[in-house]
Chains A and B, each alone.
Chain A
Amino acid sequence: MEQVDRSIDIESRRMELRGVVRLAGEVIAQYWPMRTFVHHNPLHGLEYLPFEETVRRGKQFMGGNGYLPSRSYRDYLKSGRIQSRHLDDALKPMVHDKRVVIGSRTVTHGAVLRACLADGFCTQIVEPLDGQLPDPSKNLINRIAARIESVITFPDLRERIRMIAKGDEAALARWLTLSHWCDDTLGTHIVRQINDQLIKWCEAFLDEGHAAWPMPEREQGLYGAWKALAMQESSLFGIADSRRKIAQLPDHPEDALLENLDALGIPSDLRQDYLSLQLTALPGWAGFIKWRGEERDYPWQQAYPAGLVKFLAIRLWYARELVHKVCREELGIDGKYETITGYMRTHAEEYYFRRQRVAGRLPALYAEEVDRLAHQKGNGWSTVLDRYRTDVVPRQEAAARRGAAKRLLSLVRSLEIDPAQLDESTPVDLKQLSDWMEAFPESDHGAVWLKAFEASYQDRLLGQLRTRANEAARPATPTRPYSQSVYCIDVRSEPFRRHFESVGPHETYGFAGFFAAFIRYRAWGKEHDTEQFPVIMRAKNEVRELPRTYLDQTVLKHEARAKWVHAGHTLLHDLKENVVTPYVMVESLGWFYILPIFGNTLLPSLYRRWTAWLRHLFVPSLATTLTVDKLTSAETAEMLDAEQQAIVRKALHERIGLRSSRVTPALVEGLQQHALMEQGDPEPPLIQEAERAGLLVENVNTFVEILRRQYALNARAASRHKERITRTGFTLEEQILTVDTALRMMGLTKNFARLVLFCAHGSTSDNNPYESALDCGACGGNEGKPNARVLAMMANNPRVRERLTKTGIEIPSDTHFLAGQMDTTTDKVQLFDLEDVPPTHHADLSRLQEDLKEAAALTSHERCGRFPDVQQVLKGKQAEAHVHRRSMDWSQVRPEWGLSSNTAFLIGRRELSKGLDLGGRVFLHSYDYREDPSNRLLEVLLTAPQVVAQWINMEHYFSAVDNEVYGSGSKIYHNVVGQIGIMSGPWSDLRLGLARQTVMNGDAPYHEPMRLLTIVEAPRERIEKLIARHEVLRHFYHNEWVHLVALDPNDGVWYRYRPTGEWTLIHDH
């Protein structure tokens, strides 16, 4: 009974710990593999907190800045991007009604704060004790410093030390780990040592096929594999007896983590924060492990499980051992929370000096003295303190007064007051001014600047839209357009749509790029599915690409040649990645690489054309179709049968080495059937076939067992597989619902053109690990082509159209739906399934293609104006050639540069924005509130596409404000690791976010970081209902992650939604 109780107790402790780890992990964002890069908010887990509070947490845990440096905002102010009145408005809540008199001038609190912002002299500068740079104002500064000497006082050194020790004691385990404490106090490098170890293990364990020599023991999971291998390592930073210690660790990672936390003595109320701090030490790897841990169906996770508990169990073992070792050696105490806090209390002076020494805040001679005392473990700390008090402290105080005087001088100059008037002011007034400045340090400026910056942009954008809205309100006579085309809401579609509308009477619509088709897709010849929907959703249907039925012979040829190409690639890869072969390969085959090197470098366009032609010659492309319709039962059974037999053939080849000539259909079928039977002996026909193939009876049984266990050919797996096959395609009802929803959401329910194009988007670039970041976010970081094809095929289905008529959407019989894809790096649009276009529409198609081409040229011309390396105006062919070249240039760090600069999301009719140049900064989703009486469509738009837009926006925001912490630094140093992500150099955390070149133009931000502005054309009460219904919307608007503005069609007035839940009228300026 006691044993049962204990095991229940252990299990409950483990569960509790898993809960704590889950909460601790909120502070880090999930990290998706780079091949399907998903833009997301790096502080997504904290969106339940107000934006400013989250920024503070980000600083606390990750050390990241949440705002641009003030100098960038000041540049915006000078250039007019921030307008003065918006800065004043943003400052208003902080201003007190107080004033002081300086000479003959009255200076208000607001004026001081404004000057601090605009001229940036509130930066906390450490004044040198005896700076010797010539300063023409030196005498004046000294005079002012002398005047304020009587009013500016400093606490006694011992009191200051006591306060510091107390503050640090409170911060320990909340704000800094014990490892950090050791590094900061003793000058050790424990955090770096632990990080290096964790990077090593994570890199090896999480590899997804990149490594030529994979890590062994991975099937034991992250913790098990580490334990198995680490206990064979000979030396771990001098940790005594490390092998035995690792061997004695519990088998369960939860138990090991608990043991480590207990050994470090972390109080239970601090454990969540403590674990958060541990995770944020390597937010990239931890973020990827967090994602893996939550993706239970992910094949790599199924094969090699990893999770945050395991990660922390390893991390904290190193922490525990190293902290203990260092504390014992340096301080003679145990490396535990309690003993360390005790040390800070009882040895406050020693602690103070050690901290100051490591932080480089001691004069050099005192630094030497501290080193000597620390080395000799001497007791002379009090003597040094006394000397320090008389020798250094007065100089520090004088320097601080000089610093205050310098700030006062800068202030009066900024306010255009004669500096001499400072002499006439009372010390109390001077101190008041100094206090105001000190209470508004530069670290507090970011939030004010951001509000002013956003207000200035929003003012301009809303001004543009307001003008257009007035025109849109006038009724227009509907005429049938030449074409209608639907583009992704992506900001990169905006310039193209604008230009396309300008070249002819075309109508365009915006819609989330997955076109309401939640599909898992497998392209022809590929082994893996892609998830073609926003990552916040789940797919119910699967779609496969198949060659068209009339291509039987070509398909066989294609398959055979594709196999050869694949084998060639594999061989080349293995030769390159193997431990030994590269040495030989460089000598023998290295010369052949001259061609691609010179081709890609000197003549990339020509080389690409040539290689494409060669590829096409060898493996001709195939016309394909998609499995949009559901399979019948017979088709399902046939497909299942074919796949199972393929498995048997493969296993016969791999396990027994049977040639295909000896493998008869009867043998395959017999083995398949026998494997699916749970028990029983082989039937006589199977035995005969096996003997004919040279197999012994006893071997048949063994082989069948292998089929069941290792090739998953058994009844249960067959059932699962069948269930999966039945997910292929859509039922008629599903197709009708999908098309109906899509058309209604985009407001395309009448006046259909003869051609309607669903235009997805993808991209082309070379040598770019971030390639998928340029693809469609709504399609899970993939190209949207399959989704567009699926929706077009559904919409062309006569049965679907017939049923749609009953729901009120009457699609004329001469309307044909087309699928296409825009390449956002070249601006070209490629159309698909053109053989399905009726002959009656060929003229329309030809015209559409011409106009698309013209729009592409205009878009390229516009984009070329934004590239910093393009100095002259490129027009027509020049611009086309330039963007084409960029897409193939393997040294190009900005092949596209279109998604950066996103700022707003407009949900409304196209009439609101038609003809406006929105600079490629606005996500545009077509929505007609009149088609949505139930509010269902708006609900979807606010809870899905808006979330995607916000993630993209926040990814760019944080990558721009602190690229080193939230972004991924310069592309120059990027190295792909494990086929999952990138590191900077050969050894780093997995880099999060976007590269510096994506968001910055030199030292200035190219992406102007501001929070998303969502503009909705809908009645306010409908929006309010949705906000009340959805927590995610309350988080967005009430916590100021997203600004919301509504154009209420009931009164035609623009309103802003406040975090308090109120609407305020937006006045026209």
Chain B
Amino acid sequence: MMDGALIPLLLAGVPLLGALVSLAIRSNPDRLKLSSIIWSVISFGAIIGLSVRLVTPPEGLLPLYLLPLAATASLLGQPAHENHRRSSIMTLVCLGLGVGTLTGRDVSGQLFLMALIVSVIVLLYRHHTALWPISWWGIGSFGLAVLCVGISFVSGPPLSSVASLLTCAILLPLLPFHNGYLTALTRLPGSLPSFIVLLLPAVGLHGLATVMLAVPDIVAWTVSLFALVGALYGAMKALAQSRVRLLLAYSSLSFFSMLWWFAASTQTTTPRAAMLVGAVGLATSGLLIAWQVIRTRYGDDVDPQSVSGLASVMPQYAVLFSLLGLAAMGLPPFGVFAGFMGLLFASPLTSSVALLVLLIAWLAASWYILNMGQRLLFGRQRSELRSDDLCRSELFSLLMVVLILIALGVLPASLFEPDKSTPPTTTITGSFAWNK
């Protein structure tokens, strides 16, 4: 019988081992891609198989299940190309560190988290360019996150709680600590942004589940204020973006801010919150993969303005992109809608102004996401551009994301909730490893 403390290490070890194996075959991009996908799938299998022996966190195990799926979809969606060797390997590394953070206890979880953030910092540094000076802010944000993890590790409450809250605000982006998240989504190469977009918020939510119980009311009130402003700010910024990754980053910031508001208002996080985080992350991940499809054809630094009229020449792509768009703007039957509604009905609505702000931000999403889809799919067909429809792996990748989003939307919410028969294992000071 395996010791319960070893299971997190085992789960984290599978993708990390995969990364090592993949590193050995990195000279062949095709084999590397295949290997990475296989290790992600094995990781998913391992999580499914061992999840019954894991301590269930308050937000449930949904984020844990979604991580390897998102990694698989991201790896499937990127081409087997020499430029993407590093991102394939790093996807596995981040998966391993993320799984370790979500499942690890005490020190191990904290070390995994620190390693994850440091990995992101290193990657951001390597992909820094003088034409994008703002990425220093992102690197700085993640540096602050590392510092906060360290502080929460060595200090006691209330400093540790504040430090943990800050870490959460950087990972699950909250205004004004969102720069790291934005930079990661816009500057990381290949399949990483489409994976990171789920990984960082999932890890952030995991920390938040514990932290919110400990924060004083005034802090919670302040957080909810930041969340409302963030929801509007994200929506407004997304409206003004022409670049797809930035638009999606701000869009998801807006949605995650909504979650922050719910969490701050109720001072709890529930599996419904995990559902919203998972669905928003996955929908954004799907759209990032869809954008990767465009980048694969027209170059990594293609200007979105140069691409239009894809609906007639890439019909499969157009259909899946449209479905992902519908999911991302929060329409039924996708998970974002279910998550949002679940939280809305489960929360005591104390402020109609707050509700109005949230609805405005939600409605704005249907404007900017539709607008983005309209620009890419319709308009003048560019005959001077090659337009090959989805290849098989891209099709599988996008289809997989769409199906998961539908599943999240239509499956009963109780499916993702912790088993009521087992006694709750979470206490304020207990399981959350960042909080000493």
A residues with a Cβ closer than 8 A to B are: 123-126, 128-134, 357-369, 387
Contact = CB atoms under 8 A, between A and B. Distances in A.
Contacts of B298: 128, 131
A364 B79 contact: no
A177 B332 CA distance: 47
Nearest to B292: A132
Interface in B50-74: none
A130 B83 contact: yes
Contacts of A363: 299, 301-303
B350 interface: no
Nearest to A384: B131
Interface stretch (B177-185, B379-387, B416-424): B379-387
A133 B388 contact: yes
Contacts of A364: 243, 301-304
Interface in B243-259: 243
B155 interface: no
A375 to B, nearest CB: 12
A176 B56 CA distance: 67
A130 B299 CA distance: 5
B391 interface: yes
B129 A132 contact: no
A132 B79 contact: yes
Nearest to A369: B131
Given A365-B129, A365-B131, A131 B299 contact: yes
**Which one of B297, B298, B299, B304 has the greatest number of beta carbons of chain A within 10 Å?**
B299
A132 B131 contact: no
A367 B242 CA distance: 10
B80 interface: yes
A857 B129 CA distance: 76
Contacts, number: 72
Contacts of B300: 130, 132
Given A133-B388, A134-B391, A368-B131, A361 B306 contact: yes
B305 interface: yes
B384 A123 contact: yes
Given A132-B84, A133-B297, A134-B80, A359 B306 contact: yes
A838 B200 CA distance: 96
Nearest to B242: A367
A365 B81 CA distance: 22
A35 B86 CA distance: 67
Contacts of B132: 365, 368
A187 to B, nearest CB: 9
Interface in B76-92: 79-81, 83-84
A123 B243 contact: no
B366 interface: no
B408 to A, nearest CB: 31
Contacts of B79: 132-134
A365 B301 contact: yes
B108 interface: no
28 contacts: A124-B384, A125-B384, A125-B385, A126-B384, A128-B297, A128-B298, A129-B301, A130-B300, A131-B296, A131-B299, A132-B81, A132-B296, A133-B79, A357-B303, A358-B305, A359-B305, A361-B303, A362-B303, A363-B301, A363-B303, A364-B243, A364-B302, A364-B304, A365-B131, A365-B301, A366-B131, A368-B132, A369-B131
CB-based closest 3 A-B pairs: A360-B306, A360-B305, A363-B301
Interface in B280-305: 295-305
**Which one of A128, A361, A363 has the greatest number of beta carbons of chain B within 10 Å?**
A128
A126 B79 CA distance: 20
Nearest to B388: A133
Contacts of B299: 128-131, 363
Interface string B81-106: 10110000000000000000000000
B274 to A, nearest CB: 33
Contacts of B81: 132
Contacts of B304: 360, 364
B303 A360 contact: yes
A134 B388 CA distance: 11
A248 to B, nearest CB: 37
A357 B384 CA distance: 17
Nearest to A126: B384
A55 B297 CA distance: 33
A986 B154 CA distance: 66
Contacts of B302: 128, 363-364
A129 B385 CA distance: 12
Nearest to B81: A132
**Which one of A126, A132, A387 has the greatest number of beta carbons of chain B within 10 Å?**
A132
Interface in B371-401: 383-386, 388, 391
A123 B383 contact: yes
Given A360-B303, A363-B303, A387-B131, 12 more contacts: A123-B384, A129-B299, A131-B297, A132-B81, A132-B84, A133-B79, A134-B79, A360-B306, A361-B306, A363-B299, A363-B301, A364-B303
Contacts of A132: 79, 81, 83-84, 295-297, 300
Interface in B209-249: 243
Interface in B285-338: 295-307
A133 B296 contact: yes
Contacts of B385: 125-126
A360 B376 CA distance: 13
A367 B384 contact: no
Nearest to A371: B242
Interface in B124-174: 129, 131-132
**Which one of B296, B306, B307, B383 has the greatest number of beta carbons of chain A within 10 Å?**
B306
A369 B132 CA distance: 9
A128 B243 CA distance: 18
A66 to B, nearest CB: 16
A388 to B, nearest CB: 10
Nearest to A127: B386
A134 B80 CA distance: 7
Contacts of A134: 79-80, 391
B78 to A, nearest CB: 8
A128 B83 CA distance: 15
Contacts of B383: 123
A369 B130 CA distance: 10
Contacts of B391: 133-134
A366 B385 CA distance: 20
A1051 to B, nearest CB: 49
A839 to B, nearest CB: 65
**Which one of A126, A366, A369 has the greatest number of beta carbons of chain B within 10 Å?**
A126
Contacts of A359: 305-306
A125 B386 contact: yes
Contacts of A130: 83, 299-300
Contacts of A357: 303
Contacts of B386: 125, 131
Nearest to A362: B303
A442 to B, nearest CB: 8
A284 B144 CA distance: 62
Contacts of A125: 384-386
A136 to B, nearest CB: 12
A360 B306 CA distance: 4
Nearest to B84: A132
Contacts of B384: 123-126
Contacts of A368: 131-132, 243
A361 B302 CA distance: 8
Contacts of A358: 305
B101 to A, nearest CB: 31
Nearest to B308: A360
A358 B131 CA distance: 19
B363 to A, nearest CB: 23
A385 to B, nearest CB: 13
B292 to A, nearest CB: 10
Nearest to A964: B380
Contacts of A360: 303-307
B201 to A, nearest CB: 25
Contacts of B83: 130, 132
